[in-house]
Structures are given as structure tokens and as C-alpha cells.
Amino acid sequence: MSRLAYSALHRARLGTAALTAVAAVMAVGLSGPPSTAAEPAALPRAGGAPSSISTLNRTLTTPWGISFLRGRKAALVTERDTAVVWKIALDGAKKKVGTVPNAVWSEQTQDKGGLLGVAVSPTWNGTSDKDVFFMETTRTDNRVVRMRFDGSRLSGYSPVLTGIVRDTQHNGGKIAFGPDGYLYVATGDAQKGELAQDKKSLNGKILRITKSGAAAPGNPFGTRVYSYGHRNPQGLAWDRAGRLWSTEIGAEAWDELNLVKPGRNYGWPACEGACSRAGMTNPKMVWKPDEGGVPAQVAVVNNVIYASTLSGHRLWRIPIDATGQDVGPATAYYNGTYGRLRALAKVPGADQLWLGTSDRGTAKDLLLKVTIK
């Protein structure tokens, strides 16, 4: 399958409740990034906007996940195609620390298999707690695995959650520890839409699990499932009030930004975008995939959401409104400058983002630093 054909597959949802946000996205998406980002007075102004961007490293191969090491001024970065894990310092210097066994990627998977997300234990210190978690596509399934990292190299390999249906598309892949200390896992529907509505399935879900892979206490159905009705969610991030936001790659018309709440049904495949069907939760914003969409990952800086995009080739700035339940007009940055953008994470203790390009070729992808002011 060509990349053009692949891009055509990544479409998502339309709905009347999101028309205002769509209009805002369309307006900026077609014109590219403005020099300044004006906001209505009702929106929080503390978030600032991207003020500069620089290249930290230019020798990566399709970076997929970024997770910072507690207290070490460095992050672990995964490469989708090679299964290599790099330790990258704040100045961009990188060191190979190992590979994750069993991760499988090939051209036929068209961007969806291989080594995907990474999440460092929130209490990691390299001694008493060495836990690092990865999500990978193997020859038989998608799975979450635990490895040990002492600050210099990876060791061990223990699957903690297996049996997530894999496919050549829609594998999800983002994992992240929430403010509650539990691990959240974004899974795709594996091109089997019915799985997203099946609450007994692990697919088409956002899962919430313990470090051992068990259902986290307080989950809405008493299982690992936190929310369902997702097609291909790939971004997870929390705002300063602890609310979970997720980006989702859709089917034909629209891609989504969702405010994720426990037990909610986000509609796929019954609804595309916002709909009036009882029991469905509508997205907070949608994108046209050919006009700035196909969102990959999200990060939050001072209650402003930032979303990287693949086909969109840009970084979106999306302010959360004063209620915390909706978003204001979106603004696009770096439109077409760096190509496909995917890996995204906030730098702890700084108003900065790390942003990775994708699919530029072997050892040609960039790791960028975006400063927010």
C-alpha cells in the first residue's frame, strides 16, 4: 500500500456539536501558522504559544514514543521500525540502551506495527524501581511489556498484558502513567469495528491497569476497560486538573480530540464524530484529515493542548477553555516545515515540548525542542 493510499485511510468524524471547532480548525489549517495566536478573553492566557523551535537530534529512525526519566534530565525514546530504545539527554546526545524483544514491523504494516509507546514508572530511580513499560506489536498480538532500566541499559522482558488483537492498521500504541499512578493504554480496533463496542474486548479502548497488568481499582466495569468506542487512539495527556485528553485517527471524514471520562462510549463505529445517538460521547474537536488532520500524539503545557499530526504536517495549539470541559479556537504551527510529526511529550519542569518527525528515512528523523512562551 502506498503512503498516499495509507493517508487516505486515516479519516475521522463529523458532528454538529463540533462545528464551531471545525470552523476554527479549517480557518487556520488552510492558511498555515500565524505569527501570533490571539485568544478570546474568556480563555486562559497563561499557556502562551510556541516561540522558538530547535533541533536536538537529527539521526533517529521513526521515533514513536518519548518518556522522561525521573530526575535524570533525559528521556527514553523508542524507534518503531528498529525496536531500538535510546536514552536522549536534554542537549540531544543519544545513547542506545537496548532493544525490545519481539517487536515486529514491516512495510506492509504501513506505520502501525513495531515498537510503539514507552512509559517510565513514575517512581523510577534506577535502583529500587527500575520499571519501564513498552507497547509493541508482535507476530501474534499487541502487548504491554515490562523491562528493567538501571540508567544505562535495558534488561529483562516480562509481558504484563497480552492478547490485544493486532492488524496491519489500527493498533493504537500510546501508553502513559496518569496522575493516579496507573498505566493507561490506548488500543485500536484492529480494523474490526465491532471490537470497539465489545466491552469484553481489549481493542478499541483506553485501558487502565496496574503495573502487573491487572484491572486498576475503580475502573467503571470492574475490568481493564476505562473507555470504549475508539477507532485508533494514539495520544494521551492530562491537563492541570487531571482531565484526560486523547487524539484519535478516524475513518473517512474527520479525526478527533476527545475528553475521556470513565465508562463513556465514544461512538465508533456507530457514530462518526458527534451524533445524537443515546449513550454516545461526542468529541471536543474534529479535523479534516486532508486539511491539517490525522493527529498522532498530545501534550499539555499550562492547560493548552498541543497535538502533532501525520498527514497534517503541523503542530496544533488548542487552548482548554475556562470550564475545562471544552476547547477554544485551534492554531497551527510549522505547517509543512518538518513533514510528518508524531512523538510528542512535555519536558518536566519546563514550558517545552519534545517533538519527533516520522518516516523521513533511516537515521534521518529529527527530535525537535519547542519552547512555549
Per-residue pLDDT tens digits for 205-222: 999 999 999 999 999 999
Q: How far apart are CA 236 and CA 187, in angstroms?
A: 11
According to DSSP, residue 337 is labeled: T
Domain borders along the chain are: 3-372
Q: What is the mean pLDDT of residues 54-73?
A: 96
Nearest to 306 by CA among 212, 371, 262: 371
Q: Distance between CA 116 and CA 143 in Å, rounded?
A: 10
Q: Bigger pLDDT: 371 or 25? A: 371
- Using alpha carbons, list the distances in angstroms from residue 340 to 75, 176, 294: 21, 22, 10
- The answer to whether the beta carbons of residues 215 and 199 sit under 8 Å apart is no
The stretch 9-30 carries a mean pLDDT of 35
Q: pTM of the full predicted structure? A: 0.89
The CATH T-level fold of domain 3-372 is: Neuraminidase (2.120.10)
Task: Give the residues across from 86 on adjacent strands.
Answer: 77, 96
Question: In Å, what is the CA distance from 354 to each residue of 187, 193, 258, 288?
Answer: 23, 33, 22, 25
- Enter the C-alpha cell of residue 35: 505569527
Mean pLDDT of 114-122: 97
Q: How confident is the model at residue 16, as a pLDDT?
A: 32
Across all residues in the chain, what is the average pLDDT? 88
Which of the four pLDDT bands, split at 50, 70 and 90, describes residue 113?
A: confident
Quick check: 267 and 256 in contact, CB under 8 A?
A: no
**pLDDT reading at 25 higher than 90:** no
Indicate the pLDDT class of residue 110, thresholds 50, 70 and 90.
low
